Structure 1
Amino acid sequence: MAASQQRRDLTQGPIGSALLMFALPTLGSSVLQSLNGSINTFWVGHFLGEEALAATSNANMIMFLMNAFVFGFGMAATVLIGQSYGRRDIDAVRRTIGTAVGAFVPMTILIAVLGWVFAPHILDLLSTPPGAWQLALDYLRVIFIAIPLSLIIVLLMMGLRGVGDSMTPLYFMIVAVVLDSGLNPVFIVGLGPFPAMGIAGAAMATVIANLVGLIAMVAFIYMRDLPLRLRGAELRYLRPESAMLRTITAKGFPMGLQMIVISVAALVMIGLVNEEGVDTAAAFGVAQQLWTYVQMPAMALGAAVSAMAAQNIGAGRWDRVSRIMRSGLTLNVVMTGGLVIALILLDRPALAIFLDPDSPATAIARHIQMIATWNFVLFGMTMVFFGIVRANGAVFAPLIILFVAMFPVRLTFIALARPALGADALWLSFPLASIVTVVLAGLYYRFGGWREARMTVPPSKEECVEEALGTSEPAGRLNPAA
């Protein structure tokens, strides 16, 4: 057990290699998630057709918003766990995960119940096409059953990364993906003893995969006696501590809003692109498919940098924090930059996966790639800066920076440049927004007050009394009359 915990210690040893080895499993988990979505889309499209694809697309948008919700609170809990683990306070690690799980299990169950009841109204709000409406309802209601399972899995995975363990989440991501993608055709068409469930079968495969994955992960945590496990008297930590829950909520809400800002900005951009016609919209859709993979190293490095910085801040190793930042920037340039160069050099075969080479959308997509894809190197640098500062509880500045770049800067540029540049104004807005974001993020890292921010849980009144009575002499509490 001691050796196992030592391997998760991010406060000692070489920084660059440790950061890379921590980020790679996180990157692997992201790739598996995307591949799972692609495989499931193939099964649905192959067996059920275009209307079913439209139905799953509407439901997946809702799932993304749910994941954005849990991302913020999970990231806040991860930072608290990382700082606690860095200072070797395993009890604080368990109190944090207990509060997070104890608060979010009832909340996710409530979301599932409300989602089941109001699913028809949600689909009406999304203007779901009439031909896909009933299919979307059948799919969405089963997906809402899976939401508590999937969100708790995400929370536990983020908690494990907080104690420096990025391999265990990868193991169980593999389990979930294999089950989900493998069971999709079984339940859709009814193979063997299973009934044909149609589109609801695709959702049922997700429910079973998440259930098995969650049970297996919890069993693994207890079998290996990992820091997140609760036993005996520690089970009382599942009753949320009010002070800790306030901290997680106060820090997690702005982090979740960052995901919402990015999502809304993407929806606005899709609306602007659609005005350019079908070929341009198709080309942009394909570019987004490829960009999903290009941005993965940046996201993985941002999570790795945040976990490593949190542990070192908790351990008081501020001398290592700036080195973590520099290593993160270097690895981002190598990893993301390498993918960008490969995509530009191999754009024809990459685009041929989605488009006919003779399609007019292919030339447009190549043009978009040349103009905009390199901005993900800057995006990765921003994720490193944001990962460092949020490891000490600074969450509002990144939110404001993202909002400014995504809306006032990007939309103003498009409005002013589009009459002269046409659609190129849309593609140029990506690197422009990334330049503004990375400059502001770098300035905040260098000159902002994030080092004075604290991701701390205020002590309860009882803890203050215990501390005062337990660490002072009676005479020392007598103050002279002024």
Structure 2
Amino acid sequence: MATPLTTGRPWRVILAFSVPLLLGNIVQQLYQFADAVVVGRYLGVNALAAVGATGALLFLLLGFAWGMTSGFAIPTAQAYGAADARAVRRSVAAGAILTAIVSLVITIGGPLAAEPILRLLQTPPELIAEATIFTQISFLGGAATMFFNFLAAIIRSIGDSRTPLVFLTLACVLNVGLVIVMVGPLGWGVGGAAAATGVAQAISVILCIDYVRRRVPQLRVQREDWRVTRAEFAEHLRLGLPMGFQASIIAIGTLTVQVALNTLGTDAVAAYTTAARVDGLASALLASLGLAVSMYTAQNIGARRPDRIRRGMKQATWMAIIASVALGAVVIAFGVPLIRLFIGEGSEDVVEMAHLFLIVNGSTYAILGVLFVVRGALQGLGQALIPTITGIIELVMRVVAAVIFGSWFGYFGVTLSNPMAWIGAVVVLVPAYMVAHRKLAHMKVDPVEVTLTTPIPVIGPTDSALVVDGIVTQPVVVIRQRRFWRSR
């Protein structure tokens, strides 16, 4: 159900919108947990390490796709906030066409490049075969992943974060069942885990399309809307490509970390992979708040409400810091029991290394929370340059930590890569947002009509039929002054 983010108390609106995102990320992480548990328990530590060795490569391309499709939804949210129904539909059409093009490239090119890239990354020889199979099948299902992300993003862009949660939950439950069957009784190995994810995502795409067709007329594209202009494509690419490249740049840094881990041996790869599953759940919760801020900002800038953006950002930042501290305490305190869900007896070194990763990351989650909120606000405002620059900074910092610190301190040095990257990005993001924050406070005013349906005090001459003791008692249209964004 579409819900405007342009009314109500900002912190309540952001929280209400982000809760389904949080639950969705928990569900998604839980089914990734299930994948890892099934693979680790049925196939052993080497199979788990093989799946982990593919993570950075998959994120390089599929992360690009996810970031890009999220960027395509920003013009949709801005048009919805501005109450421009035609622009909403045309935005959906432009995003769908671009998503289809990129899906085709990834589906064809990804499987062909999988093994050469894994070898280039110095993946341990004993992991190459299973890692290649898992990567190739994952890329073959990449189109389904891309389109689900795109459809979920445009549904969220009109203020509905609950419906994508429902479809995601159904897909995740199905995925868990398929993984157990394909890896266990059918004996398809790591390929079965990848295939299960592709099938589940494809079903979620079908559900989203049917829902939009039946229940969301705002997003239902008409025949004339498919005649997308070059300018409309350019606007979507202006926002989508930087968000995609930002994810890819981060992934390149992650690939560097993967290379450093590969040189440290199978135990290091398994430990990092396992800890990353636990860490991913916590960081996904913070990422959800950042995405909520992005959609909130986009709708309010479309509705010309910079005053709400300023208030909402202050409140969202505090929410992020409080949540970060709580999450950090949980993963540090309960990290070992969570890690043991993936790793059986006799791998104490792996457990210890994985817990070290969680201690380093968990103690710096507050920085990550601020990063997600500030970056989301800038993206919602339509800024592409600064978020891209911070992605490059994250790449540089990760490379420094993985290569230099890794050579100095071994595995501990590699675990410093994430906090180093977060600090580098925040150092640039916060000043950039402060500039935008001040700009929002000095906008030219624009008169808009607001219908008041509740009693308000009245000053000055009025129609006496509508006023009793200085209070408006009937709905009345009044004019108030509102500032608006003029950066574009």
TM bracket, shorter-chain basis? 0.7 to 0.9
Q: 1:331 to 1:237 in 2, by over 3 A?
A: same
Q: 1:412 to 1:328 in 2, by over 3 A?
A: same
Give the 5 Å matches for 1:218-367. Answer: 218-230=209-221, 234-272=222-260, 283-354=271-342, 359-360=348-349, 362-363=351-352, 365-367=354-356
Other-structure match for 1:401: 390
Q: Which moved more, 1:301-310 or 1:248-257?
A: 248-257
Offset of residue 325 of structure 1 = 0.8
Q: TM-score, normalised by structure 1?
A: 0.79
Kept in 2, the 8 Å contact 1:389–1:450? The answer is: no
Task: Note if 1:25 corresponds to 2:20.
Answer: yes
Other-structure match for 2:456: none
Q: 1:65 to 1:439 in 2, by over 3 A?
A: closer
Give 3-state SS (helix, strand or coil) of 2:14's partner. helix
Amino acid at match of 2:31: N
State how far apart, in whole Å, the 2-side matches of 1:56 and 1:272 are: 17
Offset of residue 328 of structure 1 = 1.2
Give 3-state SS (helix, strand or coil) of 1:295's partner. helix
Other-structure match for 1:183: 178
State how far apart, in whole Å, the 1-side matches of 2:56 and 2:197 are: 16
Give 3-state SS (helix, strand or coil) of 1:227's partner. helix
Question: CA-to-partner distance for each residue in 1:84-141, whole Å, 9 max, x for gaps?
Answer: 0101112111101111112322441343234455555555555666655555555544
State how far apart, in whole Å, the 1-side matches of 2:194 and 2:398 are: 39
State how far apart, in whole Å, the 1-side matches of 2:29 and 2:314 are: 29
Other-structure match for 1:469: none
Q: Which moved more, 1:343-352 or 1:175-184?
A: 343-352
Question: CA-to-partner distance for each residue in 1:290-319, whole Å, 9 max, x for gaps?
Answer: 321221222001100000000000000010
Give 3-state SS (helix, strand or coil) of 2:304's partner. coil
Amino acid at match of 1:396: L
Kept in 1, the 8 Å contact 2:401–2:416? The answer is: no
Q: 1:84 to 1:19 in 2, by over 3 A?
A: same
Q: 1:448 to 1:219 in 2, by over 3 A?
A: closer
Kept in 2, the 8 Å contact 1:305–1:387? The answer is: yes
Q: 1:55 to 1:375 in 2, by over 3 A?
A: closer
Question: CA-to-partner distance for each residue in 1:359-403, whole Å, 9 max, x for gaps?
Answer: 345555555544442211111101111111111221111222342
Kept in 1, the 8 Å contact 2:26–2:285? The answer is: no
Q: 1:183 to 1:15 in 2, by over 3 A?
A: same
State how far apart, in whole Å, the 2-side matches of 1:116 and 1:224 are: 37
Other-structure match for 1:446: 434
Offset of residue 53 of structure 1 = 4.3
Q: 1:167 to 1:348 in 2, by over 3 A?
A: same
State how far apart, in whole Å, the 2-side matches of 1:257 and 1:65 are: 9
State how far apart, in whole Å, the 1-side matches of 2:248 and 2:215 are: 36
Question: CA-to-partner distance for each residue in 1:13-34, whole Å, 9 max, x for gaps?
Answer: 1111111111111122222222
Other-structure match for 1:480: none
State how far apart, in whole Å, the 2-side matches of 1:327 and 1:430 are: 26
2:367 to 373, 378, 396: 378
Q: Which has the higher strand share?
A: 2
2:161 to 157, 163, 166: 166
- Structure 1: tracts of 5 or more residues without a match: 453-482
Kept in 2, the 8 Å contact 1:306–1:387? The answer is: yes
Kept in 2, the 8 Å contact 1:297–1:332? The answer is: no
Amino acid at match of 1:18: V
Question: CA-to-partner distance for each residue in 1:267-292, whole Å, 9 max, x for gaps?
Answer: 33344456667766655444433321
Q: 1:271 to 1:112 in 2, by over 3 A?
A: closer
Q: TM-score, normalised by structure 2?
A: 0.78
- Structure 2: tracts of 5 or more residues without a match: 441-488
Amino acid at match of 2:237: T
State how far apart, in whole Å, the 2-side matches of 1:152 and 1:277 are: 36
State the Cα RMSD in Å: 3.4
Q: Which moved more, 1:397-406 or 1:11-20?
A: 397-406
Kept in 1, the 8 Å contact 2:260–2:403? The answer is: no
Query: In percent, how many aligned pairs have the same letter?
Result: 27
Offset of residue 266 of structure 1 = 2.6
Give the 5 Å matches for 1:53-202. Answer: 53=48, 56-57=51-52, 60-116=55-111, 121=116, 125=120, 135-136=130-131, 138-188=133-183, 197=188, 199-202=190-193
